[in-house]
């Protein structure tokens, strides 16, 4: 899944960015409201994390623009403003959730999973094609032969494929789900991750469609 982080504090932003990448999100991080609007206009995101006290265009103004442009984009406000009136204003402006700093990353991740499920723009609690199931909370993959834990990027790759079983995803499609803007991507990075998933879960799980990309079969419910 791809997340847009809108946070001007470098220390907080860096910590959240690293935590989200560890949790298998592809993260794009911007530090002001104008850059946030430009990013949303240029790319598609599964969720946005929005600080209110950002320069150039404040968080509530950004939220208004998001709701005008992308009605269904889930937005969680992350802020130090803890007053009841602040919470009410943020939610009334269109936020899907509101979390006050400092917060536990585990709670933020759980709220992100809950919000994307409610909005219908993210994965369900457990992704499956009938042959393999994937738990976003634990990064555990399970087949008829047992369970194993995937790395963050292996998880991101399999999550992208399982979100659309039977559909072919190109290299560009998969890279977009796995890597953020500033991450270097080796030319064989996708193949390397696919090899790792196949080694853990079986060679037939991910199928190559020559010249087009990769897919997982639909399986059976």
Residue pLDDT tens, the chain, 221 long: 899 999 999 999 999 999 999 999 999 999 999 999 999 998 889 999 999 999 999 999 999 999 988 668 999 999 999 999 999 999 999 999 999 999 999 999 999 999 988 765 444 578 899 889 998 888 889 998 888 989 999 999 999 999 889 999 999 999 988 998 878 888 899 999 999 999 999 988 999 999 999 999 987 54
pLDDT of res. 184:
82
Q: For 185-206, b where at least 16 C-beta lie within 10 A, e where not — what string?
A: eeeebbeebbebbeebbeeebb
Spatial separation of the C-alpha atoms in residues 130 and 152, rounded to whole Å: 22
pLDDT of residue 117: 82
Where exactly does CATH 1.10.10.10 map onto the chain?
127-215
Q: What pLDDT is stored for residue 84 in this prediction?
A: 96
pLDDT for res 121: 47
The pLDDT of residue 122 is: 46
Distance between CA atoms of 116 and 119, rounded to whole angstroms? Answer: 5
Q: 127-215: what fold? A: Arc Repressor Mutant, subunit A (1.10.10)
Q: Where in the chain is the domain with CATH 3.40.50.2300?
A: 2-119
Closest to 125 measured CA to CA, from 140, 133, 112, 136: 136
Q: In what order do the strands lie in the sheet with 140-143?
A: 127-128, 133-135, 140-143, 146-149
Give the global pTM. 0.83
Candidates 1, 86, 85; CA nearest to 51 is 86
2-119 CATH pick, 3.40.50.970, 3.40.640.10, 3.10.20.30, 3.40.50.2300: 3.40.50.2300
Q: Are 197 and 154 in contact (CB under 8 A)?
A: yes
């Amino acid at each position: 899944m791809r997340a847009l982080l809108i946070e001007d504090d470098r220390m907080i932003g860096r910590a959240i960015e690293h935590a989200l990448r560890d949790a298998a999100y592809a993260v794009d991080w911007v530090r002001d409201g104008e850059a946030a609007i430009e990013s949303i206009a240029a790319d598609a995101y599964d969720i946005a994390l929005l600080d209110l006290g950002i320069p150039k265009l404040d968080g509530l103004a950004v939220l208004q623009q998001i709701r005008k442009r992308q009605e269904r984009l889930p937005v969680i406000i992350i802020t130090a403003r803890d007053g009841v009136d602040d919470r009410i204003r943020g939610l009334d402006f269109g936020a899907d959730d509101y979390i006050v700093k400092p917060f536990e990353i585990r709670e933020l991740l759980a709220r992100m999973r809950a919000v994307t499920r409610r909005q219908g723009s993210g994965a369900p609690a457990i992704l499956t094609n009938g042959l393999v199931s994937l738990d976003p909370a634990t990064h555990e993959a399970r087949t008829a032969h047992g369970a194993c834990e995937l790395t963050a990027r292996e998880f991101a790759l399999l999550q992208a494929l399982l979100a659309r079983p039977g559909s072919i995803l190109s290299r560009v499609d998969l890279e977009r789900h796995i890597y953020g803007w500033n991450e270097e991507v080796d030319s064989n990075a996708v193949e390397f991750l696919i090899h790792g998933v196949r080694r853990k879960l079986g060679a037939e799980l991910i199928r190559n469609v020559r010249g087009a990309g990769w897919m997982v079969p639909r399986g059976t419910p």
